[in-house]
């Protein structure tokens, strides 16, 4: 059957303005129902409502001009004074003291503050909730329905955004919670940072990425397999990469060595063969996905580096050989210093961890500062990542101070969490620096972070894609 809908009626539905949309929505749908068979009405109504929403969202907004005493653009080796940024329609229009201010602009003067690009955290677990009680956290993970776990992740995303992190790379989740959260944030359903997600982290049977490790045999009805990221051959590695990409992965994460918080492995032993890592990285790159390898031990890390991995996460026991090869190949190091910092503090205060985990944590904690100092000296590219979820979400920015304590300059620490991370994530054309045409992802901190890096932990203003989510001076938090 051919359905005739008057062209004028279609034009009305897609061009109607914001006020008219509220007034005439019912009228339009009633008129549609007279022109369409009943079976088409509901579906077409949804399309029309979507058109009205788009028309509403497309209404032009006033440009926003941000002023502050100083500005760090994410790439330069000095600050700009004073700081001024012009934004409109979610993009940066102009940067610098001489930028022209539109006559109709809303001006936000942040005073004695520094404007910076929105922070980036290259290693988070937003679907992971920190719980001081290790055993209670374990039980929650087994008993809560997936829907509840997904809802638990929403405040984690919001508090991360309010801390100034407008983009994160989420490197390990379950039940596709990371995919759903990414999509909900992207579609404006819930507030949070822009997300890259990895779906299942890929690793070997009994290794750090095997979520069944530590439980009795057959408790879950079948052995973990490549459907949940557990692989044991090059062919399975390729299949698991393809499966992750099929279901929404932006990045492929693998566990090349043991880990601290897993129960059945040593922290520094390799967990995938060279052939398995070669296949995994090759397949990911063929599908235009970047790769990240959890790796504490040097032997497993070397295999990943030789395979062409894009970043090594943690790297507690990296040797000179591994660091030199990373420098040669341009492999990034994401040291996640917040994780050992937090574990050291908890162990000192008597928080319970299983003895095997506590012992591994102490080994990694003793080693990582010296490793970072070597990496800085050798000029290895270092990005900022925190392992948020191992500690409470929202405290991510302390990573800047830990990088400085480990030997980085404040300037390079700021670059690590902005332009360097943007390059690592493949998003440098969109974010990471304050430049004309890039997304208006902007934060402000009090004072000068080059003289006090802890200013990054006192964010007072957050804009993401041109929307103000936090403005302490004016009392508004979206």
Domain ranges of the chain: 7-57, 64-118+436-477, 119-425
Rounded Cα distance, 145 and 219, in Å? 17
For the chain, the average pLDDT equals 88
Strand 476-477 versus strand 106-109 pairing type:
unpaired
Domain 119-425 architecture: Alpha-Beta Barrel (3.20)
Rounded Cα distance, 221 and 200, in Å? 19
Q: The tokens of 387 are what?
A: 């392992």
Bigger pLDDT: 12 or 207?
207
Q: Look at residue 218 and tell me whether its pLDDT is greater than 90.
A: no
pLDDT, residue 227, reads: 87
pLDDT, residue 332, reads: 98
CATH pick for 64-118+436-477 out of 3.40.30.10, 2.90.10.10, 3.30.70.2190, 2.30.40.10: 2.30.40.10
Q: Look at residue 9 and tell me whether its pLDDT is greater than 60.
A: no
Q: Look at residue 27 and tell me whether its pLDDT is greater than 80.
A: no
Q: In this prediction, what percent of the chain has a pLDDT beyond 70?
A: 87
Q: What's the whole-model pTM score?
A: 0.86
Rounded Cα distance, 177 and 98, in Å? 45
Read off the pLDDT band of 4 (50, 70, 90): very low
299 CB neighbour count, 10 Å cutoff? 16
Sequence-separated (6 or more) residues with CB below 8 Å from residue 148 = none
pLDDT, residue 176, reads: 94
pLDDT, residue 54, reads: 38
The answer to whether 341 and 398 have CB atoms below 8 angstroms apart is yes
pLDDT, residue 108, reads: 97
Q: Look at residue 1 and tell me whether its pLDDT is greater than 80.
A: no
Q: Look at residue 261 and tell me whether its pLDDT is greater than 70.
A: yes
Sequence-separated (6 or more) residues with CB below 8 Å from residue 441 = 117, 118, 166, 167, 194, 431, 463, 464, 465
Q: Let me know if 411 is exposed, middle or buried by CB neighbors in 10 A (0-12, 13-18, 19+).
A: middle
Rounded mean pLDDT, 70-86? 97
pLDDT digits (tens, 9 = 90+) for 437-473: 999 999 999 999 999 999 999 999 999 999 999 999 8
Read off the pLDDT band of 133 (50, 70, 90): confident
Residue count of the chain, please give it: 478
Bigger pLDDT: 279 or 52?
279
pLDDT, residue 306, reads: 98
The DSSP-derived string for 416-430 is IIIIIHHHHHT-TTT
Long-range CB pairs of 425-430, under 8 A, 24+ apart, other chains included: 425/120, 425/122, 425/167, 425/169, 425/196, 425/251, 425/290, 426/290, 427/167
Question: Which SS3 state, helix, strand or coil, does residue 319 take?
Answer: coil
Q: Look at residue 37 and tell me whether its pLDDT is greater than 80.
A: no
Cite the beta strand spans of 118-217 per DSSP E.
119-124, 165-170, 194-197
Q: If you search the block for the tokens 């557990």, which residue do you land on?
A: 230
C-alpha distances in angstroms, 429 versus 86, 288, 423, 433?
A: 18, 16, 9, 9
Question: Which SS3 state, helix, strand or coil, does residue 39 take?
Answer: helix
Question: Which SS3 state, helix, strand or coil, does residue 443 take?
Answer: strand
C-alpha distances in angstroms, 340 versus 343, 390, 397?
A: 5, 9, 15
Rounded Cα distance, 255 and 201, in Å? 7
Which of 477, 461, 470, 455 lies closest to 85 in space, CA to CA?
461
Q: Which segment of 22-36, 244-258, 264-278, 342-356 scores lowest on mean pLDDT?
A: 22-36
Read off the pLDDT band of 60 (50, 70, 90): low
Read off the pLDDT band of 419 (50, 70, 90): very high
pLDDT, residue 143, reads: 86
Which of 328, 365, 363 lies closest to 345 in space, CA to CA?
365
Rounded Cα distance, 165 and 29, in Å? 42
Q: Look at residue 371 and tell me whether its pLDDT is greater than 90.
A: yes
Q: Look at residue 45 and tell me whether its pLDDT is greater than 80.
A: no
pLDDT, residue 50, reads: 40
Torsions phi, psi for 86 (to 5 deg): -110, 125
Q: Look at residue 57 and tell me whether its pLDDT is greater than 50.
A: no
Q: The tokens of 306 are what?
A: 């030789």
C-alpha distances in angstroms, 387 versus 335, 398, 461?
A: 9, 12, 24
pLDDT digits (tens, 9 = 90+) for 306-334: 999 999 999 999 999 999 999 999 999 99
Bigger pLDDT: 244 or 10?
244
């Amino acid at each position: 059957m051919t359905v005739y809908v008057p062209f004028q009626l279609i034009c009305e539905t897609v061009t109607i303005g914001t006020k008219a949309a509220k007034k005439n929505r019912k009228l339009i749908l009633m008129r549609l129902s007279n022109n369409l068979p009943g079976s088409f009405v509901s579906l077409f109504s949804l399309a029309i409502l979507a058109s009205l929403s788009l028309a509403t969202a497309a209404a032009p907004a006033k440009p926003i001009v941000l002023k502050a005493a100083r500005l760090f653009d994410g790439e330069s080796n000095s600050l700009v004074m004073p700081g001024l940024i012009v934004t409109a329609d979610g993009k940066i229009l102009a940067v610098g003291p001489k930028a022209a201010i539109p006559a109709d602009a809303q001006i936000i003067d942040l005073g004695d503050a520094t404007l910076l690009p929105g922070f980036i955290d290259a290693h988070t677990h937003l679907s992971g909730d920190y719980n001081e009680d290790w055993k209670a956290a374990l039980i929650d993970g087994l008993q809560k329905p997936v829907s509840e776990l997904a809802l638990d992740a929403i405040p984690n995303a919001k508090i991360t955004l309010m801390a100034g992190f407008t983009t994160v790379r989420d490197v390990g989740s379950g039940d596709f919670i990371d995919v759903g959260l990414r999509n909900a944030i992207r579609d404006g359903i819930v507030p949070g940072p822009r997300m890259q997600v990895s779906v299942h982290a890929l690793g070997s049977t009994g290794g750090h990425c095997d979520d069944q490790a530590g439980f009795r045999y057959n408790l879950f009805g079948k052995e973990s397999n490549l459907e949940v990221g557990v692989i044991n051959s090059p062919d399975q590695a390729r299949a698991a990469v393809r499966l992750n990409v099929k279901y929404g992965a932006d990045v492929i994460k693998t566990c090349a060595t043991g880990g601290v918080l897993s129960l059945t492995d040593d922290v520094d032993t390799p967990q995938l063969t060279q052939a398995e890592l070669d296949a995994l990285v090759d397949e990911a790159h063929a599908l235009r996905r970047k790769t990240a390898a959890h790796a504490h031990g040097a032997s497993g890390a070397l295999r990943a580096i030789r395979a062409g991995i894009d970043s090594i996460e943690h790297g507690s026991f990296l040797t000179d050989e591994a660091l030199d090869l990373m420098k040669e190949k341009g492999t990034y190091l994401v040291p996640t210093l917040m994780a050992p910092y937090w574990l050291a503090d908890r162990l000192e205060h008597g928080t319970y961890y299983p003895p095997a985990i506590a012992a591994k944590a102490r080994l990694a904690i003793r080693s990582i500062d010296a490793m970072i100092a070597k990496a800085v000296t050798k000029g290895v590219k270092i990005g900022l990542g925190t392992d948020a979820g191992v500690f409470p979400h929202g405290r991510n920015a302390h990573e800047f101070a830990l990088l400085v304590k480990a030997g980085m300059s404040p300037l390079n620490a700021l670059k690590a969490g902005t332009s360097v991370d943007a390059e690592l994530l493949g998003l440098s054309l969109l974010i990471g620096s304050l430049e004309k045409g890039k997304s208006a992802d902007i934060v402000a901190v009090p004072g000068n972070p080059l003289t006090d890096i802890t200013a990054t932990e006192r964010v007072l203003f957050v804009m993401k894609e041109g929307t103000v989510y936090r403005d302490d001076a004016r009392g508004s938090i979206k």
